A = this chain, B = another copy of it.
């Protein structure tokens, strides 16, 4: 496999010039990304203060490059040069997407960018303290400021004042083309189908055997096992790493240097394994991008939802399937000796699929996870539109948790203070988790039709056909299409919740006898 391919020959000097200028900013961004990874994995505590200075400098320099008027001029000339090319030609895609990025970057005044960054920096610290103390009042002024700055940001970007709303302009940074109305159109029917399923599960007499979730196993062995599984799925360790960090993530600098992290809990192998498979999905998407297009939109992921579709697919469609659990169970003796001997593959499978409504999103199972996301979407949408005053957030959060999951939230730590996103200034992000979950199910249904014997292969540890299919259908195209259009290209249909519901029913139906 040639990973260090030269960039393809291009058709016009103006395109080369625009790409050259854009690559400058992107290269600096890739440096910042390595520093970010280092901070979470390797940096000694003493490095923290100076690291903030290093990252702020890189962000400032990269912003200057992204908004450089020379780039705008080159893009204008390049746009003329590519207009006769097919819409999906790499040059035309790059020019279109670079124009989009440049326009977004230039619409934000430097003052606002800096104020958002410095506010988020303090707010994250205040949020962490507030969460520890379960003290919303401490976080409230910061959230108010973040909401205010985000409204201002949305107005800078601009939004459809006839049929749209401010939230749309914010979501667009994470999920190009996404609107609140679109999300609502997906979420409302999804909830309508999930709710009765959850009710039935709550009332069910049969319960899966979750005992493997309380079976302590050696933590270094778990890490070696997770690494082994990641490699078996197809992660290329010659072009990436897997380390430990407090919060798992996938970063790195480009497709040939992908840095994933995971974490392991002594009590439960499946926690760390699931987390590793999730990040492996993200990592293999990054590794599947075309190295010839490093630093350009053709070499970048489409959106957060498509990124999440890849992580969810490997974590859930693959990792929580019976064939995968059979294979994983068969590999345990080599890594753990007899430590898992008393559990069958079926017990591992059942433990991986226990459904239990809870307060914490990141601990949620496949069936309740999306309810957590819907609550957040409702709330952030209302805060941005001013239907909800920040001071009323905790009450409204708790009301919705009762409504969606039948739970009484005991405190704000396990309520509206649990997630980092808002404190980091990110509003419009949450829905991509659920969109990604739905894309994952729809992609996987299509893959299963396209690849005969897919599930049987999992039981034998064969995953490369699936990865190859994702590489060719999704990864290699970079930002050629928007998420919604990519979905049609890959599956022949627009996004629908049906495949996800079918996925849950097929699995949870027998497991809960419903």
Contact = CB atoms under 8 A, between A and B. Distances in A.
Interface of A: 3-4, 24, 27-28, 30-31, 34-35, 38, 42-47, 49-51, 53-54, 57-58, 61, 236-241, 253-254, 256-257, 294
A427 B511 CA distance: 73
B54 A31 contact: yes
B241 A50 contact: no
A220 to B, nearest CB: 13
Contacts of A254: 47, 50
Looking at chain A's contact residues, is the secondary structure mostly helix, strand, loop, or mixed?
A: helix
12 contacts: A24-B57, A27-B53, A31-B54, A31-B57, A42-B241, A46-B236, A46-B256, A47-B253, A50-B253, A50-B254, A50-B257, A51-B253
Given A49-B4, A50-B254, A256-B47, A57 B28 contact: yes
Given A24-B57, A27-B53, A38 B44 contact: no
Contacts of A43: 257
Contact of A256 (B4, B30, B31, B50): B50
A252 to B, nearest CB: 8
B237 A44 contact: yes
Contacts of A28: 57
A24 B60 CA distance: 12
Contacts of A256: 44, 46-47, 49-50
Contacts of A257: 43-44, 46-47, 50-51
Given A35-B34, A57-B27, A58-B31, A50 B294 contact: yes
Residue from A34, A43, A46, A58 whose CB has the most chain B CB atoms within 10 Å: A46
B238 A44 contact: yes
